[in-house]
Chain A
Amino acid sequence: MAERMTVEMKVNGRPVRAEVSPRTSLADFLREERRLTATQLACEEGVCGACTVSMDGATVLSCLVLAVQAEGAEVWTAEGLDGAAAPLAEALHAEHGIQCGYCTPGILMRGGELLKEQPAPSERDIRLGLCGNLCRCTGYAGIVEAVAAAADPAAAPGERGAAPARREDERLLAGRGEFVNDVSPPGTLHVAFLRSTVAAGRITRLETGAARALEGVVAVFTAADLNPRAGDMRPTPLLNAAEPPLLPLAADRVRFAGEPLALVVAGDRYLAADAVDLIEVEIEPEPPVLDPGGAVEDTDRLVYAETGSNLYQELTSPIRPKLRRALEDAPQVVRATSRQQRQANAPLETRGVVASYDPDTGELVASLSTQNPHEAKLAISRVSGVPAEQVRVTARDVGGSFGLKVWTGRDELTVALAARVLGRTLKWIETRQENLTASGHARMDVGEATFALDEQGRILGCHLDHLEDTGAYPLGVVGKAGPFVGMVFTGPYRIPLHAFRFRSVRTNTCPRGAYRGPWAFATVAREQMLDEVARAVGMDPLELRRRNVLGPDELPYTMPTRLVLDHVTPAQTLEEVAARLDYPEVRLRQRRLLAEEGRLIGVGIAIGLEPSSIGTMQPIDRDTARLRVELDGTITAYLATGAGGQGVETTMAQVVAAELDVDLDAVRVVQGDTDATPYGRGTGASGTAVITGSACRAAAAELLTMAKELAAEHLGVPAERVEPRRGVLADRQDPGAAVSWAELAKTVSAHGPGERLEALGRYKAPPMTWSNACHGCVVEVDRELGTVRIERYVVAEDCGRMINAKVVEGQIAGGVLQGIGGALLEEVRYDAQGRPLTRGLAEYAVPTTLEAPAIEFVHIETPSPTPGGHKGMGQGGAAGALACVFNAVADALAQVGARVDRTPLDPARILTAFAEAGSRSPRPAARPPSPS
């Protein structure tokens, strides 16, 4: 069986000869045997393009080519490009065409080939040429612009003063990023999970003998081996929650298809997969609980028999008499429904962990793909029983996450525990199928609301009934995001009365996790429903919003739920978008094109409020930064954050450099290592700019106080006269008198070895920092094909003072494209037995270059009262786009009487809506409505 073959090829110009198994893919050969890790594997089925390399002069997907097929070939990877891709690499850097960088090597390979084949590509050429390279972070804007700029440097807008290019890019462009799959200490063993294919049932047989006997298999663990040794697996905020326990592996019962049943450890991933195949498993299936609506009442079919109900949480705010009267007797009362489908974060990099336990030292070291290394450290300590002081977590580069990797997952923790038990180094890289079926799902909300309005269309009050599907195991803080939707539902509008009911139910499906804006449904439901209300009362949706949106003189505004809204500009952003779209003109054109050509144009608007840096969200409501002055005068910032695409190494360096008035290049950021950095929150919940940024400022202030004292001594002036000025500490009254940071550092180090000039800064978030945005778009719906084309997309946003405008735009563009994906394409689907139907990126289609619109931005900068004046904005793009695109399509459809109340609005759903409306006829004049 273990046939080996000799293969000879040239890799990056060097001859290579090796023995390989025929089934080794070229990608694995390059990565594992040659240690060329720029080439990434994000799907292993030809869909993502991350593994693109060049073979004999043409790009190929190295996951779909066997190493033996490259016999005699010339292979080039991103590591070998060197100067060859310089124009494109430089353009990607300048245009912020890189965020997490996981897709970047593939983009370089294909983009380079494109430029060679088409030296003067049109935008369409670029989009077509790169449609096989998925990027989940950037929204493709910077990538498409970069290719255009590389072809024609004159077309490049050039770097903006306010937006320095990212310092993360250099290593990512050179293929020297270090993602978890790139970490392979000597002696690494590989893990694969056996997972249930049944949604609900009792495990009657699990036979691992044949798997254990397979050559190359080191261990096979089942629940009996690991569960008794596992500590609490829940994330820190849920430690005291009363709920059924979460254990490493399913013991006697499975609760969703995808649930882990056994864990195999083998010499390589191929063998691990072979061993998984050999495990015999029998599960007696039971009827699964799948429909969240039905699950509430169901007492026969229960996800947890012992709980007697599938209802997980319920929270009701009382409907006071005034609201009740309004909802019953107001001049206009409108009911609306909004349903959001199950979606997946689908970061390009799946989850992964490399965990080593050394029985001699008792130390456990783990590299993880995580947003939150310190939380991972605590969680690994709890689960494995290794004291926290002896756990070290590193996370260098993270290939996207969007909430999926905030809390350390069950599977990563199980692998760390297995490493502890075996005393070995174990590596698990989630397959795309696992990622789409067993990591975490999101959205899955149903909202039903009633709005009471007066004759003029002013909203008097509303009530929201919100049902959330949590899946089989509620994980993370998501249990708290649900009630939050009701709390912020009224958003940026003058709605004096409001009440809500929130319920979440368990179902036999993949657990719900956090996804960019766990609270997004507040925006999605409200904005979709407002359009429905506008249609019901016969008012233009822009006009309805104008009548109800909060104006500048109404702030601060206390929402009915007692949350206070301030320093926001919803009315201004609304007007910006209306002006940019030339709203009245679009409406005229819409009518004209329908009347004259039968074409369906739609306009959508959505206003969003983004709650960020939330002071009640322990423990991620605070952060710590440490700044150290090195002997050469440069500053190192030690932060608990990580490199997941948000450009933290750049933006936090900017903050520190500005506070200390030193050169940006004089500041280095160290993050993603729990041994090197103070405890902190990681990235997430749009908190970095405000919370980590303010911690950096606090540390800088502390450092300055110390530096001023030292400089004062040096200069022989009082400390009050010293100020930082362009890289030195200078006497305010004598421009010639100054002392450098290096000199100060040396002064301190003279006190003893290891003595450094350094300072710690802490910050705790205020109750809430709101950013706001208004999205507007124009779409055309194809009446025959049911497809949607986005003509224009405008975002007017206010995230306070921007640290880096390009980073802000990149975050919005990435979020918007995920929102577009959610509105039009993406849906996690199960069959009637609860078996997943979307197991790969071919089935779970995320947007490509071809679906990504160009986005026009308007920035308003209203400072928040936090130290830097920033407001978190990492998530709102997704929420705004989900509603805005839905509204535009619904607006188009409404012209012919077709109605929709749920996403995704894919061709099937749109054509069905036409059919239901009896308006399938392509040209109203040409034929009578078709018989259905």
Chain B
Amino acid sequence: MKPAPFAYRAPTSSAQAIALLAEHRGRARLLAGGQALMPLLASRQVRSPLLIDLNRVPDLAFVSRAERLRIGALTRLRRLEADPVVRAGAPLLAAAAALAGPVQVRNRATLGGALAHADPAAELPAVAVALDARVELRGSGVRHLPAADFFRGAHQTALDDGELLAAIEFPLREAAFAIEKIPARPGHALAGAVVVLGGEDRRLVLFGAGPVPLRPARAEAALAGGAAPAEVAEAAMADLDAAGVPEDVTRALARGALTRALDRARATARNQVDHG
């Protein structure tokens, strides 16, 4: 369990990082928290002649709020959990970050890394989709993409060789939400579901059931039509069929997670109405 040799650079600005990426196109990897990348390097499942360490790039680690909540890619998960601006503007993101591994991992792992890693069973990509986040990619130019278009497959994203994920923007919206993962604890999940209920806006996202976070359209329609949680979850199975997700236990897990998350989100929504 020792990585193959690599060279190491630690740029101090995102511009430098992008220049290094351009210079070593295809032969370099960005290193953020390293909580996903380091194990892959150590087991030599991934090899990279050069690592470009983003940890000394201050302009990638920030949280700011204007019309949207804007979060630098290098912002650590532990900060997302605790930052009052995040907790107020995107409480679901703060809650999900607290589930993405044990403390030592979250002390180091970053939001950008979690999205760029695009683990099909991870909650943060699902949350980004559920909250309709927008990612900012920087390379030779700047691109913005809705989160739903960023995830292209298991561990595959819209990032190209010369680009880095610079920031993630979340709309500020009042909503009841719930996240449910199996097993229900910090750390790697088998599957899970995210539910966001904001007035007319109802978003459901399943993770672990397919290669990317999946929004089940039929289930969302069923929910809009007033269906009970179990029926919504049943409809989500039809969505998975349509998406070509094979019939296996992860589906059953995702279905259970969705039912449970719907229950919880609706309870919160009721409370908000009662108390709000």
Chain B 132-167 interface residues, beta-carbon cutoff 8 Å to A: none
Instruction: Please give the number of chain B residues whose Cβ is less than 8 angstroms from any Cβ of chain A in the complex.
Output: 49
How many whole Å from A473's CB to the nearest CB in chain B? 25
CB contact under 8 A between A433 and B101, given known A908-B190, A908-B249: no
Contacts of A269 in B (CB 8 A): 2
Given contacts A3-B7, A784-B259, contact A132 B105 (CB under 8 A): yes
Which one of A59, A785, A786, A923 contacts B107 once the chains associate, using CB atoms below 8 Å? A59
Q: Which of A23, A61, A71, A128 contacts B2 (CB 8 A)?
A: A23
Question: A113 is contacted by which of B2, B103, B257, B259 (Cβ under 8 Å)?
Answer: B103
Q: Do B253 and A49 touch (CB < 8 A)?
A: no
Number of A-B pairs, beta carbon distance below 8 Å? 162
Q: Is A184 an interface residue (CB 8 A)?
A: no
Candidates A44, A920, A923; contact of B1 at CB < 8 Å: A44
Instruction: Say whether B104 contacts A785, CB under 8 Å.
Output: no
B184 in the interface, Cβ–Cβ < 8 Å? yes
Contact check, A1 vs B1: say whether CB atoms are below 8 A apart: no
A431 to chain B, nearest CB (A): 5
B182 contacts A786, C-beta separation under 8 Å:
yes
Task: Tell me if B13 is interfacial: C-beta within 8 Å of chain A.
Answer: no
**Minimum distance in angstroms from A823 CB to a CB of chain B:** 15
Q: A23's contact among B6, B183, B187, B253, by CB below 8 Å, is which?
A: B6
Complex: A63 Cα to B105 Cα, angstroms: 11
Closest residue of B by beta carbon distance from A23: B3
A432 close to chain B: CB less than 8 A: yes
Contact with B along A386-399 (1 / 0, CB 8 A): 00000000000000
Say yes or no: is B29 at the interface (Cβ < 8 Å to chain A): no
Contact of B102 with A907 in the complex, beta carbons under 8 Å:
no
Q: Is A562 an interface residue (CB 8 A)?
A: no
In the complex the two chains form, is B108's CB within 8 Å of A63's CB?
Answer: no
CB within 8 Å of B: which A130-165 residues: 131-133
Of B1, B185, B253, the residue contacting A131 (CB under 8 A) is B185
Q: If the complex has contacts A59-B103, A911-B249, are A277 and B5 also in contact, measured as CB distance less than 8 A?
A: no
Q: Chain A's nearest CB lies how many Å from the CB of B31?
A: 8
A190 nearest CB across to chain B (Å): 10
Known: A68-B8, A787-B184, A915-B252. A22 touches B51 (CB 8 A): yes
Q: Which residues of A contact B259 (CB under 8 A)?
A: 784, 922
Complex Cα distance, B249 from A632, in Å, reads 68
Query: Are B43 and A786 closer than 8 Å at their CB atoms?
Result: no
Q: Mark A104-117, 1 if CB is under 8 A from B, else 0.
A: 00000010011000
> Do residues A431 and B78 form an inter-chain contact, with CB atoms below 8 A?
no
Task: Tell yes or no: A129 within 8 A of B by CB.
Answer: yes
A64 pairs with B108, CB closer than 8 A: yes
Check if B5 sits within 8 Å of A274, measured CB to CB: yes
| B149 shortest CB reach to chain A, Å | 29
Q: Does A921 contact B (CB under 8 A)?
A: yes
Q: Nearest Cβ distance between residue B260 and chain A, in whole angstroms?
A: 5
User: Contacts A22-B51, A131-B186, A922-B259; is A927 near B230 (CB within 8 Å)?
Assistant: yes
A827 to chain B, nearest CB (A): 13
Which of A3, A132, A848, A923 is most buried by chain B, counting CB atoms within 10 A of its CB?
A: A132
Contacts A911-B252, A911-B253, A926-B230 given: A60-B39 contact, CB under 8 Å?
no
B4 at the interface (CB under 8 A from A): yes
- How many Å from the CB of A494 to the closest CB on chain B? 41
B101's contact among A25, A132, A930, by CB below 8 Å, is which?
A132
Chain A residue nearest to B49 (CB atoms) is A1
CB closest residue in chain B, given A270 = B2
Please give, as numbers and ranges, the residues of chain A lying within 8 Å of B4 by CB-CB distance: 23, 273-274, 277
Residue numbers in A under 8 Å from B91 (CB-CB): none
Chain B residues with CB below 8 A from A129, complex form = 103
In the complex the two chains form, what is the Cα distance from A66 to B53 in whole Å?
Answer: 10
Q: Cβ of B245 < 8 Å from any Cβ of A?
A: no
State A22–B228 Cα separation when bound (angstroms). 55
Would A69 and B55 be within 8 Å (CB), given that A58-B78, A432-B1, A922-B230 are in contact? yes
Question: Cβ of A61 and Cβ of B7 under 8 Å apart?
Answer: no
Residue B224 at the chain A interface, CB threshold 8 Å: no
- Given A110-B104, A786-B253, A927-B230, A64 contacting B39 (CB threshold 8 A): yes
Does chain A have a CB within 8 A of B24? no
Of B43, B108, B185, the contact of A65 (CB 8 Å cutoff): B108
A2 at the interface (CB under 8 A from B): yes
What sequence of 0s and 1s flags, for each residue 97-126 of chain A, a beta carbon within 8 Å of any chain B beta carbon? 000000000000010011000000000000
Determine whether B270 belongs to the interface, using a CB cutoff of 8 Å to chain A.
no
A842 within 8 A of B: yes
Give residues 30-71 of B contacting A (CB, 8 Å): 34-35, 38-39, 41-44, 51, 53, 55
